[in-house]
Amino acid sequence: MREAWMEDARKIPDDVMSYIRKLAVRAIVEDHFSPEGVAEVFHISRTALYRWLRLFEKGGYTELETKKAPGSLPEITEEMEDWLKDTVLNHGPEDFGYDTALWTRDVLAEILNVEFSINVGGRAVGKHLHDIGLSYQKPWFRSREQDNAKVRKFLEETFPRIQNLAKNIGADIAFEDEAGIGLQAHAGKTWGEIGHTPEVAVSGKRGGYNLLSMVTPNGEMRFSIKEGKLNSDAFIEFLKAVTKDRLRPLILIADRASFHSSKKVRDFVRSNRRKIRIYFLPPYSPELNPDEQVWNTLKDKNLGRAALKNKPELKKKAYSVMYRLQKTAVMVESFFKLPHTLYAGAS
């Protein structure tokens, strides 16, 4: 009885098949046997043999080694794992010609195959990404225009001065931001190191209902929901609401939206200096603002999962979420305990 591998070459072990390819090609290239004779001796088709010869011309004998099928778990070397980790943490898909900012295991598999001349699938790459301490998670988005020197100056010089001022005048420090909400939800994940939220460079636009909010390290949250464009008048109206009947002065830290520093707003703050003062975050640095987490809670964790048919339903749901958050001081306090907002936490 003939062995099964003698009838079906697919049953020959991979490492043995690699040697058969090399021996067959060597017989033709170095020993000058005819392809037809070699094909007959090794019981292989001439089509397969000529394919092996083309591979040999492309990359020599190493090109004849068996490659794992896509989706299997091939032996990814330590060098490849180091390359994967460096690529995920220090580069983006755009660096390799892809029109996306988020890593996926299939994109990484395609690039890995080209870089190391192997044949792996996304599943195999995903397993190795987990093995080297990476996970698939939602990133925070860092603007390309951010100036690291200005961020360092704010964290090391400007904010400590603001804290000293707050202490001297008995003021509370709050962080303010605005956001737009609509019926469309946007979400996405990418690969990054476990325990470290990945960052992705993006540009964004806001629309729909407009919301203003502010948060403090001790768990206070105030908000306003408006329809229509935000401007100096809307911002001043919000400032009046958050300072009304307040027992302590308020130092508000906001981003550099144009209406935050308009002449009308500056005049209002100047005339109410005992109640309110405003300072600004570095440009393009939303991750430094704990109030950004209000929108994460509202949009990604609530509105993004809700089946909303129209704008009235959207507004009703937004008020429900914001009122619930307003009553949950522990949640608001947690916004000041993230890697990029720890600096703003209560001392």
Q: What is the pLDDT of residues 173-214, one digit of tens each?
A: 999 999 888 765 444 567 777 777 677 664 444 446 899 999
Average pLDDT over residues 289-313: 78
| pLDDT digit string, tens, across residues 310-320 | 788 888 889 99
CATH number, domain 148-187+204-344, options 3.90.1300.10, 3.40.640.10, 3.30.930.10, 3.30.420.10:
3.30.420.10
pLDDT at residue 143 greater than cutoff 70: no
Say if residue 6 is exposed, middle or buried (CB neighbours under 10 Å; 0-12, 13-18, 19+). exposed
Sorting pLDDT into bands at 50, 70 and 90, what band is 72? very low
What pLDDT was estimated at residue 147?
Answer: 87
Indicate whether 135 pLDDT > 90.
Answer: no
Tens digits of residue pLDDT in 4-30: 555 555 567 767 778 888 898 898 888
Write out the two tokens for 329. 């001081």
- 218, two tokens: 């001790």
pLDDT at 204: 42
Sole residue written with tokens 């089946």: 307
Q: Higher pLDDT residue, 159 or 47?
A: 159
Residue 151 CA neighbour count, 13 Å, CB half: 15
- Asked whether the beta carbons of 337 and 331 are under 8 A apart, the reply is no
| Stated length of the chain | 347
What confidence category does residue 114 fall into, taking pLDDT thresholds of 50, 70 and 90? Answer: confident
Helices within the chain (DSSP H only):
4-7, 14-29, 35-42, 46-59, 78-90, 105-116, 122-131, 148-153, 159-169, 232-243, 263-271, 292-295, 311-326, 329-334
Choose among 89, 142, 180: nearest CA to 282.
142
**Tell me, what's the pLDDT at 99?**
65
Per-residue pLDDT band at 253 (split at 50, 70, 90): very high
What is the pLDDT averaged over residues 133-153? 81
Delimit the domains of the chain by residue range: 4-64, 78-132, 148-187+204-344
User: Chain-wide mean pLDDT for the chain?
Assistant: 84
Confidence (pLDDT) at 3 = 62
Residues in contact with 314: Cβ distance below 8 Å, sequence separation at least 6, in sequence order: 181, 182, 183, 208, 209, 303, 308
Q: How far apart are CA 258 and CA 274, in angstroms?
A: 24
Model confidence pLDDT, tens digit, residues 264-285: 999 999 999 999 999 999 998 9
- Mean pLDDT is lowest, of 80-89, 98-107, 239-248, for 98-107
Amino acid at 212: L
